[in-house]
A and B are shown apart, each in its own frame.
Chain A
Amino acid sequence: MSNEITTEIAGGTSITFYTYLIYLAISIALTIWVARTLHKNGRVFLVDVFHGNEALADSVNHLLVVGFYLINFGYVSLALKLGYEVVSAQQSVEALSVKVGLVLLVLGGMHFFNLLIFSRMRRRSTRVAGPPPVPPDQFTAVAQEG
């Protein structure tokens, strides 16, 4: 660890460092793009789930997106370290492909998880307001209570 730092300080910034920077740039851009897509298209869905209550829909939408950002940036940050020194451009691209590929998979997983939450919420809200499953056999007068 201290070895890497000394080489960087001594010999300027290494290819490994640039690889990290590119990795961060791509990952952050991807996360923001997916989160914005989710935010924009999830809203319509949530407004429907909350029966037109737009304030509540916006609030839940925002909270979901915050969670999405936290988990993704957390993963991007934890997965940053390569564990070996990149010495050529080829190695750099290979390292990036693995790292960015994993970030994409995590993003995809998170995205489907969010869709699952949306559809669960929607199903529950339509279920609670659902009509009786069968029509009645007859009607009878109900005496007023009290």
Chain B
Amino acid sequence: MNALTVLYDPTCGLCRRAHEWLAQQPKLVEMQFVPCKSDEARKRYPELNHDLTQMDLTVIGDAGAVYFGPKAWLMVLWALSRYRDWAYRLATPELLPTTKRVVSAISQNRYQISRVPGLAR
């Protein structure tokens, strides 16, 4: 896998902030950011259920492998050279359930979290 497309929610401040942070990180895998449900996203992935992509972060590999939610977060970490070890660590059978719970909790409350001053723009 040489490239990842990240479908993010442009209406959420936390996601925009995360996008800015990601853009600056050194990467092992190329990353492209496309707002979810945008024309660009629909054009690239004509067969994808785009309503699902708004529920949670979605990452798509260059060969069409789709990762939703916590898996998408792990893929993003995996693509960063500083955090690849963390992706493997968090994906171990011991930690994966906790990872999924924490990520889902953050994801579902992202609009509330975005209102916390200083966290989002």
Contacts and interface: CB of A to CB of B under 8 A. Distances in A.
Contact of B47 (A132, A137, A140): A140
B1 interface: yes
A42 B106 CA distance: 47
B44 A142 contact: yes
Contacts, number: 60
Interface residues of B, number: 29
A137 B60 contact: no
Nearest to B77: A133
Interface string A128-146: 1010111011111111010
Give chain A's interface secondary structure class: loop
Give chain B's interface secondary structure class: mixed
B65 interface: yes
**A137, A140, A143 interface centre (most CB from chain B within 10 Å):** A140
Given A136-B65, A142-B45, 7 more contacts: A132-B65, A134-B75, A136-B66, A140-B47, A140-B60, A140-B64, A142-B62
A138 B66 contact: yes
Contact of A133 (B45, B61, B74): B74
A143 B44 contact: yes
Interface in A101-146: 127-128, 130, 132-134, 136-143, 145
B111 interface: no
Interface string B94-108: 001000000000000
Contacts of B28: 128
Contact of B68 (A127, A137, A141): A137
Interface string B62-82: 111111100100110110000
